[in-house]
Amino acid sequence: MKPTPELIYEYRMSRERAEREAGERREAAYTAIPRLREIASERRRLAFDTGLTIMRNEDSSELRNKVEQLDKEELNLLLSAGLPPDHMLPHYRCKACNDIGYVGDTVKKLCPCMKARILEEMYATSGIDPQQSFAMFRSDIYPCDRQKRIALKARELCEGYARAFPKCDPMGILLMGGTGLGKSYLLNAIALEVSSRGYDVYKASAYNLINAFMDSIRGRGESPDILGPDLMIIDDLGTEPMINSVTRETLFSILNERQSARKATLWATNRSLDDILASYGDRFFSRLVAPRETMVLRLEGDDLRLRLK
């Protein structure tokens, strides 16, 4: 999980803005209460003298006591003027990292606020819906016990997969079933769990994926990176345009290259196994449903979207 250049710039601007505004408040306070400027000057001198004293291995307790007295005087002056104690300090968005984005003295690591912003950007550009999580999975919308039992088992297996990632066996999942049974929801929940732990997730419909490859062939954009993402999710297999010498070859290449590289790929489709075999050929089919490579999960029942209206 790495911040984008745009996000790094956002943090730098936020920090500079907080420090600029603090400087403006400080100058206004110095003008209104001249003694505050004197205190700041005395404190800088004492800090320098304290450093020299420490370097000489001499006792600096008296100097530190003077600094504490100045701090108390400054606080009393601010409070008497009706100003908060931190009036002259920068008001950073995040107090943990002071809008740097990283925390830690010796080993720097991403601040939780930066992690949250990275995920926010990822969700905005990837099509991952932060509302479709395992925690928000509803079990009260199923019309019969059989459909509910099948769905809950699929949820259990998908959540186990997500929590075990990247040590999953098998590495892939194929979710099958009719429209509105929750296939996309489960894919999204896996994406949320995996991305929240810092893994790179690419999520797209088969339709948009093939169109992206076609745009790259026509020189209108870059070809999607099929090996870069830790997890690749391809939803709605079967809705993509069937373009000669493109669709089958592209999907086979994605499947074959990612399996060879031991990269995880998830698929969802409304098509039956017979339809997949007929549409994409034996090479694709045999790799897609190979037990060592893919866990096949079938959802059954009525369209749940009608019950959510």
Angle between helix 61-80 and 34-55 (nearest 10): 160
| Distance set, CA 99 to CA 11, 196, 217 (Å) | 6, 21, 42
- Give the whole-angstrom CA distance, residue 19 versus residue 147: 58
Query: Residue 13 CA to chain centroid, in angstroms?
Result: 21
**CA 289, CA 294: separation in Å to the nearest integer?**
6
Residue 11's pLDDT is 93
What is the rounded distance in angstroms from the CA atom of residue 151 to the CA atom of residue 9? 44
Report residues of the chain scoring pLDDT below 50: none
Which residue type occupies 9? Y
Please tell me the predicted confidence (pLDDT) of residue 110.
87
Nearest 5°: the CA angle 173, 294, 142 is 40
Give residue 90's pLDDT: 95
Burial of 255 (0-12, 13-18, 19+ CB in 10 A): buried
Instruction: Give the per-residue pLDDT at 298.
Output: 96
